[in-house]
A and B are shown apart, each in its own frame.
Chain A
């Protein structure tokens, strides 16, 4: 078995299983803690508030300072770029078709890939620079934050290197990072990609009961 076969075969199966089971366990772990029933009389619907909350926090409000603008721009550049690459990079479309969903969709042209990658990299690097230079972020950040950033960066970087599909070993290195990322994810703050829905939802429900859209 070649290195590529390992990272695309058994290691991929292991990594995606750890990812799926781990992430499900994390979600179950949160829900399992439950919440006491609130018996105060609501002014409006908590459920509607929870739904509104999902959308409300896509844009911060209350005055935009430099800090907010920086994060908003860099955050969207990175996340939109990342999702663009993840879903529309031609090799991903093919890989997902063959290994996950069984059908394909329109992929990004080469120039689109490069542009999207540049946006994603710029966003990620801007966020990381902020993490190591802004006193507030330095105070809050821990090893997990840095490992998550680096792993994502390296996964993206090796992905770009493998784009040409010129060398199997480049594709294998990228797949290795994908596997590591998938295994690391459920144990880390990268899970925010799922837990944000819960936190927005619970806060939205809080405000929903009170009839406020904050």
Chain B
């Protein structure tokens, strides 16, 4: 039975860290206040700690120390049923963006986002996954991208950018130093970033390429909690990078792509890479520090920066975007709770690909709106194409007037091209 498979996966996902989280949670409910889904609905089911309940029940019943004695006298939770899995499906997929904000308020420091990820793996084993994520995964496997960006589409988009900016965009070039990968949303909607990268790298003298074997940075397997799919998708990039013998793969402006490639990838592949992973923001910051890019002028609008959770709080790229913002902006203001305490856009962790969660996602955006309203920026800058898309949609829905910009593009805009 598929529920048995789910229980098996949940059991095997309970390692020492998960056990300590489940043992340490004192049910204080402080995490509720950190979660934009609870905050904007007041629905107690959206309390972060409650989202760990499937794991808690399996742990208490099967794995907790002394659970044998308790089981013998009937003091353990009931075995999970299919109905339980279905009941938790929306909690785990629709109302958690894996943003990790709840952890910073939890007195026990419990990594609830990590626990939600582990729980999702159980639901995958039982086939209890939102339809949209399943079809996105199928497209990713079949076409190379959840948004059906095939190598042909990629070539065409690159050719168009090449034409527009008049700089060649190297494709499948063996021996280049850097491999650029892109998120589907960038290729589809924010393709100017490709031209921006070409401009910056030309000035900095960076040798780079795009590969038609491994170009898609998003990883639906990571979002769903399907390790096999996640491994296949990471494997494509690793394969492409090793085939082209690059020294670095640049993780683009995409939140979860960074954790998929940098932090989870080697563990999924079971080996270290022959190349290094660097985030685009880290590289831009480094090029600037080395004096390899020169900028001219600054944007004088009031700009603020939305921190993509997986790049900043859970990725560790915290100061780089700030240094870059100050390079291109003469009026950069920080929101309250910026950086590692930032509030999610509402669409991370696969929530934006899950159409049935749209209403909830837009409701959750109210927390972000509050943050924005307090600083009243003229424009919002971010470094994740998914955040950017989600923010644009929500800003539109809330009838706010605020363009959302990509940081890499902004850097390219102020490049001193006379150099």
Query: What 8 pairs across the A-B complex have the smallest Cβ distances?
Result: A29-B65, A198-B20, A210-B316, A202-B17, A136-B29, A199-B24, A140-B27, A200-B109
**A60, B313: Cβ atoms under 8 Å?**
no
Residues of A near B108 (CB, < 8 A) are 57, 192, 195-196, 199-200
B66 contacts chain A at the CB level, 8 A cutoff: yes
**A67, B32: Cβ atoms under 8 Å?**
yes
**B316, A34: Cβ atoms under 8 Å?**
no
Residues of A near B16 (CB, < 8 A) are 30-35, 198, 202
Q: How many residues of B contact A (CB 8 A)?
A: 62
**B336, A63: Cβ atoms under 8 Å?**
yes
Name B316-352 residues within 8 Å CB distance of A. 316, 318, 336-337, 340-341
In this complex, what residue of A is CB-closest to B69?
Answer: A187
A102 contacts chain B at the CB level, 8 A cutoff: no
B170 contacts chain A at the CB level, 8 A cutoff: no
Contact of B341 (CB < 8 Å), options: A33, A44, A62: A62
**A135, B27: Cβ atoms under 8 Å?**
no
**B24, A25: Cβ atoms under 8 Å?**
no
Instruction: Please count the residue pairs between chain A and chain B whose beta carbons lie under 8 angstroms apart in the complex.
Output: 184
Q: What is the bound-complex CA distance between A41 and B69, given in angstroms? A: 41
8 contacts between A and B (CB under 8 A): A33-B15, A33-B19, A33-B63, A35-B17, A141-B27, A189-B23, A210-B315, A212-B315
Q: Among A38, A139, A199, which residue has the most Cβ atoms of chain B within 10 A?
A: A199
Q: What is the bound-complex CA distance between A60 and B21, given in angstroms? A: 17
B116 contacts chain A at the CB level, 8 A cutoff: no
Bin the interface of chain A by size: 35 or more
A123 to chain B, nearest CB (A): 13
Residues of A near B34 (CB, < 8 A) are 62
Q: A200-B108, A214-B103 are in contact. Are A192 and B23 (CB under 8 A)?
A: yes
**A212, B267: Cβ atoms under 8 Å?**
no
Name A1-55 residues within 8 Å CB distance of B. 22, 25-26, 28-36, 38-41, 43-44, 53
Q: A40-B263, A63-B341, A186-B66 are in contact. Are A57 and B109 (CB under 8 A)?
A: yes
Q: What is the bound-complex CA distance between A62 and B31, given in angstroms? A: 11
**A63, B107: Cβ atoms under 8 Å?**
no
